[in-house]
Amino acid sequence: MSTPETSRFVRLRVELVLEVEDADAVTKAAVRRVAEDPELPDDERTQAESAVTEDTAEALAYLVDPFDLVNEVPGVELQQASWSSERIEYDPDSPEWDLDEDDGGEDDEEDRIG
C-alpha cells in the first residue's frame, strides 16, 4: 500500500479588520518606511509617497508585510504573497462579519487550528 503524496505548500488565508484611530500616525509611519526603503527607485518612491499620503488604506498596505507574519516561523519559507487594503463599512454585530463563517472551502474544519 503506498502513501499518497502530500504537498509541502500551504495556503494561509488571513483577513484583518483594523480600526484606524490615528490616521496621521499611520501616514507618517508609511512615509518614513518609503523614505527608508533602499531598494525603491526615486520615481517609484515619489509615487509611493503620494499614494500613502493620500489614502490611509494604502499606507497600511505599505506597512503590513506578509513576510513579517511568517519570518520567525521555523521550518517555513514564504513562496508568494499578495495583499490589498480598502476602506470598508464595518458592523461587528452583523452576521456578514462572522469570523467563524464557513467560506465554502472543503477542508476548512480540518485546516483550522485553535
Structure confidence by residue, pLDDT tens digits, 46-78: 999 999 999 999 999 999 988 888 999 999 999
For residue 91, the SS3 value is coil
Query: Domain spans of the chain?
Result: 21-74
Mean pLDDT of the chain: 84
Residue 110 pLDDT grade (very low, low, confident, very high; cuts 50, 70, 90):
very low
Whether 105 has a pLDDT exceeding 70, the answer reads no
For residue 21, the SS3 value is coil
Structure confidence by residue, pLDDT tens digits, 37-48: 999 999 999 999
End-to-end CA distance of the chain: 33
Mean pLDDT computed over 19-29 = 97
Question: How open is the CA angle 109-67-63, to the nearest 5 degrees?
Answer: 110
